[in-house]
Amino acid sequence: MSYRWLVIVLLLFLVVGCLALGVDFIYYMPQVLLGSAILLVIYKKSIDYGGSIFHPLPLISLVFVWSMVFSPVVSSATGFYLSMPPKEIDFEEWNLKISFVYLFCLMLFFMGVFFGLKEDRQKTYTRVRSKNFYRAGALLLVLSFFSQVYIYQKMGGVVGYMTAWTHNKELFSGLGAFFMLSELFPILMAIVFFVFCKEKNVQKGLLFLLLFFVIFFVAKIFFGGLRGSRSNTVWGLFWFAGIIHLYYRPLRWIHFLAGAVFVLVFMAGYSVYKTYGVDALSEGYSIEDTGRFSNSPTLEIAQGDFARTGVHAFVLHEYLEGNPGYELKFGQTYMSALFSLVPFIESPFGEYDKNAAGAELFYGDVFNPELTSYYNSRIYGLYGEALMNFGAIVAPLLFLFFGYFSSKLDNYCRSISSGDIRILLVPFFSNALVLFALSDLSNFFFFFVKNGVLIILFVFVLSSNGARNGFS
């Protein structure tokens, strides 16, 4: 998307906001104008330096335009703030307050980007070790395929697998290593396929890409999608599109628009399976039957999956007024997430994970995590988890460091030449950056390890340094 068209789209959002909120829009105008300006500057800088929508800074900028600039406005305009709130608060008031908090966070994010972002015209190139690459790729694909076959066989076939996920998820216990191996099949297949096309100079049209997209999507459903994870499938589709755009042939804006519509339709429709599992195939359930969407499915997906406005407004209220007895965890949730990567070792810094801390602040439940546990599906995001650990004043400061890290990651991704095999990893790194901002650290680690570690090792081990300085 060109910078000009992006500005036009944002201006249209402003007009719609004015029409929807009327005179009340004046209260959001400073946040919208300044926040949009900050993110547009970051977006344009990275694009001018050679970035794209699949690079870290342009992607996170666009996500923040929605999640931290327009999401509060949409909440106020529609009256939708939070699904199933534990109690009623004055969401209109706290929604406005969180919009000012977001603006402060974006200012700090901009400062971090400013200190870290640089134009690096020197391009690096890493070539594929062809024979070893295809041999290792074929071996991993076979192992991945038969790992999924083993899982299906253990569950009594595909229908048995879906039934187990619906009624007895405990049967999946102990299969983590097999899932990690099996669910890399679709993206590994795409990587090997497009590297082959690139090496053999195979250039095909849109119908060819659509056919392979269908194959990829079906594989994504059968290799992980049937476990009820919409996000896993959506981020996989983004990675797939990024491989095509960065490595094979550039996509146009109409392709991005079609992709966005497809994602929204898929996420809404998939909610039926996520709710009813295997029963959804035979009982004739509809989206309305799920009870997941009291409002428009598009609205609730956009506000609940791609933004955290309602959650952040609520936790800010609880921390400042609703739950004054809440004790800050001072990094315990981060340590818990980190030590969760190490089997059989518990965090020496405390027992609180994000579920326990979130339960205390969000629901007002106070308990000893050493004696009991509490599961909640709320996702608090970078700001929310920081608030639970360090309080409302310190939490925005994390965006300064997040901005600096994002710019350094963007610098690295832009330094990779278009023909470099490592560019196949750029969409994943951008995925991970967005997930880090919108999710909790434990969710981020799970995503990164399950979806990225083996692919990253595969790419780096089976490549070697080549020419430098402007290779394309």
**What pLDDT, on a 0 to 100 scale, did the predictor assign at position 365?**
66
Tokens found for residue 325: 């007895």
Higher pLDDT, 138 or 346: 138
Rounded average pLDDT over 313-334: 89
**What pLDDT, on a 0 to 100 scale, did the predictor assign at position 417?**
84
Rounded average pLDDT over 434-463: 90
CA angle 24, 30, 34 (to 5 degrees): 145
User: Is residue 339 very low, low, confident or very high in pLDDT (cuts 50, 70, 90)?
Assistant: confident
Contact yes or no for 448/232 (Cβ under 8 A)? no
Higher pLDDT, 189 or 470: 189
User: Is residue 410 very low, low, confident or very high in pLDDT (cuts 50, 70, 90)?
Assistant: very high
**What pLDDT, on a 0 to 100 scale, did the predictor assign at position 290?**
47
Is the pLDDT assigned to residue 389 strictly greater than 70?
A: yes
Mean residue pLDDT of the chain comes to 83
Higher pLDDT, 371 or 423: 423
**Between the ranges 72-86, 122-136, 221-235, where is the mean pLDDT highest?**
72-86
CA angle 6, 12, 14 (to 5 degrees): 105
User: Is residue 296 very low, low, confident or very high in pLDDT (cuts 50, 70, 90)?
Assistant: low
Q: Which residues contact 216 (CB under 8 A, 6 or more apart)?
A: 186, 189, 190, 237, 240
Contact yes or no for 328/389 (Cβ under 8 A)? yes
**What pLDDT, on a 0 to 100 scale, did the predictor assign at position 344?**
64
**What pLDDT, on a 0 to 100 scale, did the predictor assign at position 33?**
87
**What pLDDT, on a 0 to 100 scale, did the predictor assign at position 199?**
82
At 92-137, the pLDDT tens digits run 999 999 999 999 999 999 999 999 998 876 666 667 777 788 889 9
**What pLDDT, on a 0 to 100 scale, did the predictor assign at position 404?**
97
Spell out the long-range contacts of 295-300 with Cβ–Cβ below 8 A and sequence spacing 24 or more: 295/78, 295/80, 297/264, 297/267, 297/268, 297/271, 298/264, 298/268, 299/74, 299/78, 299/80, 300/80, 300/83
Is the pLDDT assigned to residue 244 strictly greater than 70?
A: yes
**What pLDDT, on a 0 to 100 scale, did the predictor assign at position 281?**
57
**What pLDDT, on a 0 to 100 scale, did the predictor assign at position 39?**
93
User: Is residue 250 very low, low, confident or very high in pLDDT (cuts 50, 70, 90)?
Assistant: confident
**What pLDDT, on a 0 to 100 scale, did the predictor assign at position 289?**
45
User: Is residue 464 very low, low, confident or very high in pLDDT (cuts 50, 70, 90)?
Assistant: low
Rounded average pLDDT over 138-151: 92
Q: Which residues contact 78 (CB under 8 A, 6 or more apart)?
A: 295, 299
Rounded average pLDDT over 450-458: 90
Is the pLDDT assigned to residue 287 strictly greater than 70?
A: no
User: Is residue 375 very low, low, confident or very high in pLDDT (cuts 50, 70, 90)?
Assistant: low
**What pLDDT, on a 0 to 100 scale, did the predictor assign at position 373?**
59
Using a pLDDT cut of 90, give the percent of the chain over it. Answer: 38
**What pLDDT, on a 0 to 100 scale, did the predictor assign at position 394?**
94
State the DSSP string of 109-158.
HHHHHHHH-------EEEEE-HHHHHHHHHHHHHHHHHHHHHHHHHHTHH
Taking the model in full, what pTM does it have?
0.88
Contact yes or no for 351/333 (Cβ under 8 A)? no
Is the pLDDT assigned to residue 18 strictly greater than 70?
A: no
**What pLDDT, on a 0 to 100 scale, did the predictor assign at position 78?**
85
Using a pLDDT cut of 70, give the percent of the chain over it. Answer: 83
**What pLDDT, on a 0 to 100 scale, did the predictor assign at position 361?**
86
Is the pLDDT assigned to residue 53 strictly greater than 60?
A: yes
